[in-house]
């Protein structure tokens, strides 16, 4: 009875060949060393196991190993297993160092850090990255988080995961939506996704939509998803309150993506009359309304308006949600609330492509939601964001020529100005502050000039330093 | 200074309306109860917090709450917070029970279990599901697994996750490939995916391939991915050794998916001369070869042949890997080894759509791989599968008219027979055994008849019972 233990090396012997078997083995092992398959310090199979694996006499393997030991390729001592010589590159310096980057430590060290800049005091420090999108994640890793993952990792894995998601997580999301957004839906209509973009991709595949209306200005990364899935974005004008529903086109696209809770990036909330006008227009044209509800739970200046999906009684609205902003992008989970008529098509696509979120992650998030930890975390975040919004307004309201948008709840601020955009961005980068340009949110022309920055992903002190730099740069040109 | 704590209800007051403010609140709260937004047992905001939130006198909220308490909608006592009456449905029995299914426990109970069948002894028992694809997962949840997730959940989350994957996991996968498959590649060429199908989708989007060769017979679920991404599957004949490279078409598709380590489902391994012929043909036509290496680490009958990607010196092979078979589908992680020339396109697609696997999962898997736990688990699995393969051969070799395929390592067996396929499947289902039909693996005509069953996802005793049933059903018709 042979044992295959540890013999994963691609070795074989050819009894018909003229070359003796030990020499064949030596040549093949040298080849594995040269190609980097065997690396310094690797354990080798025992001579007994390798002989059994190859079906040769143990003496054949012993002879081969002894030659490689003598030549310094291998090292070993009585009672210890044979290994590849840890100092191989001193003994055979011309051996190509193949696969060096496969050392996990090397790769860790090579992980790119942001390029350091030099502060006024001359000390190099990393830039303050205020490009929007990063939420505050302070306090995420705590007892409730650890306990949720521990319970998830303790549970058995021999459990089928339905393509639409783990039912207890879908029930927990339904409960979350009810409590936080007053949206009452059956868990069967909630689909677990790997995030907002993945949820949009799922809807595009399920509907086959080829023309999709988008707010202009709007969120560039959702537009990229459209293009990747062969859909054409149709820009629809938006103002500070959101989509301008009075000018919706008669030739309606097959779907339309809107941010009614908090227009991205301008920050306003779509008034109820516009919401109803949008729903009527969509129903008249058979257009699917995709409600991107990316951060409405974080609204801190007033109660959010009801979700569009709550106003819809015709089953024409899909709601895209995510835990990336309210909790952390590290969880990589979002959801779609799917209109009942579309559920079959979504399930067919999901079944064909598979559920991308691991069972362990879905279980951990379900525990975290059920424990009430997300609600407590969201409440802490709302306090923090409200305080930071006040800090932004205080720092920038007196800057001449700059107009701070209302920021009606959210993680980022928009400051319109009259200056040259690339010049402002370059001046800020020179001071070590990275922000986004307002004009980047327009796909076509007609843009306004300004800057967009997040105030979630930085510390209080870094935000204060960045605001000082922004005020100084904007004041310079005035 | 108002506090927004716990006020997530969509309530508002209209000072211009004729209706008194407390009456407005009562009407809105009754509406939330009727629509299921508020449910029995829910905590209500304190009168102080709600008054501050709405900007009204506290007495207004107190009046509204007192009316709803008196009417039995709310309950409360001195020193305790007010809640929705837990026995609401006894007091107001005609209230619609909206959102009942949002109770996590209800959804858990509703999780579909397989329909029970009745055994010969008359006791109902669940069917033995031997449809292929489920690996043995015994022993996955152990100290190394728990420790890996615990460490991952303890680590900070404020870390950017590159679109191609967490660098330490990519390094750990490179090391795993080197040790288990003798594939030496730079971690920078390894992309973390949510599984084999997601990896294939990524390659299709990065290459824009519209015609893709597939083995006939072959793995149906990869074909479905092709169709979902607008690519046309081009069936290429395969025999028990794999792709018949002598008859590759002159009009080459833009990509071709092959299972050289272990043809799916027939089980053979592609001989080296065919491998080289395939690579030459692909290079001549600019066809990308996609090597589906789904379970080669589990090969237990002999050492696996080198991966096709190791034979390729022209950068024309992408390798699709997964941890679903070697570890568990519950981790939902796979990888693609991308040819260097394709890396930029893959990174652009990944950047646009986002990395679907959570940072926590990637960290946990990196810890698990680095600890050597996967290698130990795989060794245990190889022993178990070898034993089970012998059990299958023993049980079925004497059945007249049945031919058991060599099963050259793998998690499933193929038994060809001369009987009517639906009849055999129905007879097995009647005995409580679910298997797949061999003909389902052909997209076009020319199929062979037989059955395909997994021997990974069941216990020893269940496998023995299923084999007895299979042998009996096949013998009946002989």
Report the alpha-carbon distance of residue B393 to residue B385 in Å, rounded: 12
Q: Architecture of domain A143-375 in CATH?
A: 3-Layer(aba) Sandwich (3.40)
Secondary structure percentages of chain B, helix, strand, coil, to 5: 45, 15, 45
CA pseudo-torsion sign A58, A60, A66, A72:
negative
Q: How confident is the model at residue A41 (pLDDT cuts 50, 70, 90)?
A: confident
Q: Quote the pLDDT of residue B323.
A: 94
Using CA atoms, how far apart are residues A378 and A144, in angstroms rounded to an integer? 14
Q: How many CA atoms lie within 13 A of B116 on its CB side?
A: 7
A306/B228 Cβ within 8 A: no
- pLDDT of A107 above 80: no
Which one of A11, A138, A157 would you mutate to disrupt binding with B, by most B Cβ within 10 Å of its Cβ?
A: A157
- Residue A114 is predicted with a pLDDT of 42
Confidence (pLDDT) at B347: 96
Residue A347 has pLDDT above 70, yes or no: yes
The tokens describing B143, both together, are: 């100290």
Average pLDDT of span B322-349: 95
Express each pLDDT in A354-402 by its tens digit: 999 999 999 999 999 999 999 999 888 888 888 888 899 899 988 988 8
| Tens of pLDDT, residues B369-407 | 999 999 999 888 888 888 888 899 899 988 988 888 866
pLDDT at A221 over 80: yes
> Who has greater pLDDT, A360 or B127?
A360
Relative orientation angle of helices A143-154 and A359-370, to the nearest 10 degrees: 140
Identify the residue whose tokens are 């993680």: A411
**Stretch B426-444: mean pLDDT, rounded?**
90
What's residue A3's pLDDT?
Answer: 35
Q: Which residues contact B124 (CB under 8 A, 6 or more apart)?
A: B116, B117, B118
Tell me if B195 and A354 make a contact (CB, 8 A cut-off): yes
Cβ within 8 Å of residue B149, ≥6 positions away: A149, A150, A152, A153, A360, B360, B364
How far apart CA A23 and CA B104 sit, in angstroms, is 66
Minimal CA separation from B152 to chain A, in Å: 9
Domain boundaries, chain A: 21-112, 143-375
Q: Which of A11, A305, A360 sits opposite B331 (nearest CB)?
A: A360
Cβ count near B347 (within 10 Å): 16
Apex CA A29: angle with CA A24 and CA A33, to 5°?
Answer: 150
Q: What mean pLDDT is reported for chain B?
A: 86
Q: Are A296 and A307 in contact (CB under 8 A)?
A: yes
Average pLDDT over residues A268-276: 89
CA distance A59 to chain B (A): 21
Give the residue-averaged pLDDT of B249-270.
90
Comparing alpha-carbon positions, the chain B residue that sits nearest to A180 is B8
Q: Is the pLDDT of residue B158 over 80?
A: yes
> Chain B: residue nearest A200 by CA?
B353
Cα angle B72, B74, B79 (rounded to 5 degrees) comes to: 120
pLDDT category of residue B4 using cuts at 50, 70 and 90: very low
The predicted pLDDT at position A301 comes to 65
Tens digits of per-residue pLDDT, A108-135? 333 334 444 444 455 567 788 888 877 8
Which chain B residue has its CA at the smallest distance from A169's CA?
B104
pLDDT value, residue B3: 35
- Residues A128, B315: Cα–Cα separation, whole Å: 39
Residue A95 burial by CB count (10 A; 0-12/13-18/19+): exposed, middle or buried?
middle
Minimal CA–CA distance to B68: which of B52, B83, B81, B89?
B83
pLDDT number for residue B8: 78
Of B99, B304, B333, nearest to A178 by CB-CB distance is: B99
Set of chain B residues whose Cβ sits within 8 Å of the Cβ of A9: 182, 303
Run of H or E including A236 = strand A232-239
Q: Give the orientation angle of helix B343-353 with respect to helix A220-228, to 10 degrees.
A: 130
Mean predicted confidence (pLDDT) in B78-87 = 82
Amino acid B448: pLDDT: 86
**Measured on CA atoms in the order B333, B338, B343, B346, is the torsion positive or negative?**
negative
pTM of the entire predicted model: 0.84
**Mean pLDDT along residues A332-343:** 97
A186 or B9: which carries more pLDDT confidence? A186
> What average pLDDT does the segment A13-39 reach?
89
Mean pLDDT of B304-327: 89
Among B324, B325, B318, which residue's Cα sits nearest to residue B410? B325
- In the DSSP assignment, the letter for residue B201 is H
Query: H or E segment at B275?
Result: helix B272-285
Q: ∠ CA(B437), CA(B443), CA(B444), 5° rounding?
A: 110
Mean pLDDT of B202-225: 93
Partners of residue B178 in chain A, C-beta under 8 Å: 36-37, 39, 99, 102
> What average pLDDT is seen over chain A?
86
Q: Rounded CA gap, A354 and A373, in Å?
A: 29
CB contact under 8 Å between B356 and A198, yes or no, is yes
- Tally Cβ neighbours within 10 Å of residue A248: 22
Q: Which of A32, A184, A352 sits opposite B225 (nearest CB)?
A: A352
Please report residues of A whose CB lies closer than 8 A to that of B205: 228
**pLDDT > 80? residue B77:** no
pLDDT band at B210 (very low <50, low <70, confident <90, very high): very high
Whole-complex ipTM:
0.83
Record: contact B358-A333, CB cut-off 8 A: yes
In the predicted structure, residue B138 carries a pLDDT above the cut 50 = yes
Token pair of B41, please? 């047992």
Residue B1 three-state SS:
coil
Residue B25 pLDDT more than 50?
A: yes
Q: Which residues of B touch A158 (CB under 8 A)?
A: 137-138, 457
Question: Closest Cα partner for B163 from B202, B191, B125, B189?
Answer: B191
Compute the distance between CA of residue A169 and CA of residue B244 in angstroms, rounded to an integer: 46
Q: Are B174 and A370 within 8 A, CB to CB?
A: no
Of A306 and A166, more confident: A166
Looking at residue A76, its pLDDT comes to 83
Mean pLDDT of the B172-189 span: 92
> Which residues are CB-neighbours of A345 under 8 A, at least 6 positions away?
A206, A207
Q: What confidence score (pLDDT) does residue B268 get?
A: 81
Count CA atoms closer than 13 A to B428's CA, side-chain side: 29
Least confident residue range of A81-95, B286-300, B328-342: A81-95
Contacts of A104 in chain B (CB under 8 A): 168, 171-172, 175, 366, 370
Distance CA A50, CA A61 (A): 7
What average pLDDT does the segment A56-70 reach?
89
Each residue's pLDDT tens digit, B160-173: 899 999 999 999 99
**Is the pLDDT score of A105 beyond 60?**
no
Cα of A138 to nearest chain B Cα, Å: 8
> How confident is the model over A261-284, as a mean pLDDT?
89
- pLDDT of residue A156 exceeding 80, the answer is yes
pLDDT band at A79 (very low <50, low <70, confident <90, very high): low
Dist. CA A72–CA A85, nearest whole Å:
7
Residue A14: helix, strand or coil by DSSP? Answer: coil
Q: CA–CA separation, B90 vs B94, rounded Å? A: 9
Can you read off the two tokens belonging to residue A255? 């779907």
The torsion defined by the Cα of B113, B117, B118 and B124, in degrees rounded to 10, comes to 0
Question: Does A4 score more than 70 pLDDT?
Answer: no
pLDDT band at B123; cut points 50, 70, 90:
low
Closest CA to B238 of B269, B199, B211: B269
How is domain A21-112 classified at the architecture level of CATH? Orthogonal Bundle (1.10)
The pLDDT assigned to A284 comes to 96
The answer to whether B306 and A330 have CB atoms below 8 angstroms apart is no
CA distance B433 to chain A (A): 18
How confident is the model at residue A95, as a pLDDT? Answer: 65
Interacting residues of B50 by C-beta distance below 8 A, sequence separation 6+: B7, B11, B44, B61
Record: contact A349-B201, CB cut-off 8 A: no
Question: Which pLDDT does position B115 carry in this prediction?
Answer: 45
| Local confidence band at B81 (pLDDT 50, 70, 90 cut-offs) | confident
**Residue range A7-14: average pLDDT?**
83
Region A429-444 average pLDDT: 89
User: Token pair for residue A155?
Assistant: 């549970």
Backbone angles phi, psi at B20, to 5 degrees: -60, 155
Lowest-pLDDT choice from A246-255, B201-210, B325-334, B452-461: B452-461
Q: In this complex, do A174 and B305 lie within 8 Å of one another by their Cβ atoms?
A: no
């Amino acid at each position: 009875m042979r044992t295959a233990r540890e013999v994963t090396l691609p070795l074989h012997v050819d009894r018909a060949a003229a070359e003796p078997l030990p020499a064949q083995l030596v040549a093949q092992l040298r080849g594995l060393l040269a190609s980097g398959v065997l690396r310094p310090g690797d354990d080798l199979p025992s001579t007994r196991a390798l002989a059994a694996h190859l079906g040769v006499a143990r003496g054949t393997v012993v002879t081969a190993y002894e030659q490689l030991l003598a030549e310094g390729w291998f090292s070993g001592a009585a009672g210890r297993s044979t290994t590849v010589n840890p100092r191989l590159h001193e003994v055979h310096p011309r051996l190509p160092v193949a696969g060096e980057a496969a050392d996990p430590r090397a790769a860790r060290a090579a992980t790119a850090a942001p390029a350091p800049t030099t502060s006024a005091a001359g000390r190099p420090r990393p830039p303050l990255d205020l490009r929007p999108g990063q939420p505050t994640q302070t306090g995420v890793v705590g007892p409730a988080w650890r306990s949720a993952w521990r319970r998830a990792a303790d549970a058995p894995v021999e459990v089928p995961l339905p393509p639409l998601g783990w039912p207890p997580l879908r029930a927990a999301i339904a409960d979350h939506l009810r409590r936080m957004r007053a949206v009452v839906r059956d868990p069967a209509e909630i689909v677990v996704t790997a995030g907002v973009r993945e949820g949009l991709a799922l809807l595009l595949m399920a509907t086959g939509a080829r023309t999709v209306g988008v707010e202009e200005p709007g969120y560039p990364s959702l537009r990229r998803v459209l293009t990747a899935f062969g859909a054409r974005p149709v820009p629809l004008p938006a103002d500070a309150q959101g989509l301008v529903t009075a000018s919706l086109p008669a030739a309606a696209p097959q779907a339309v993506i809107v941010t009614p809770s908090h227009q991205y990036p301008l920050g306003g909330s779509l008034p109820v009359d516009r919401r109803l006008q949008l729903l009527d227009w969509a129903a008249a044209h058979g257009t699917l309304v995709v409600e991107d509800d990316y951060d409405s739970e974080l609204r801190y200046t007033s109660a959010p308006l009801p979700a569009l999906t709550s106003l819809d009684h015709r089953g024409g609205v899909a709601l895209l949600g995510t835990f990336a902003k309210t909790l952390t992008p590290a969880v990589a989970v979002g959801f779609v609330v799917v209109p009942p008529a579309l559920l079959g098509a979504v399930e067919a696509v999901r079944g064909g492509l598979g559920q991308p979120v691991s069972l362990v992650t879905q279980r951990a998030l379900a525990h975290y939601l059920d424990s009430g930890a997300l609600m407590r975390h969201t409440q802490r975040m709302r306090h923090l964001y409200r305080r930071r919004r006040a800090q932004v307004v205080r720092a920038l309201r007196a800057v001449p020529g700059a107009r701070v948008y209302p920021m009606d709840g959210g993680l980022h601020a928009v400051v319109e100005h009259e200056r040259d955009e690339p010049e402002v961005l370059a001046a800020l980068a020179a001071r070590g502050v990275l922000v986004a340009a307002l004009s980047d949110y327009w796909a076509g022309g007609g843009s306004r000039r300004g800057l967009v920055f997040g105030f979630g992903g930085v510390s209080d002190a870094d935000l204060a330093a960045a605001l000082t730099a922004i005020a100084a740069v904007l004041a310079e040109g005035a």
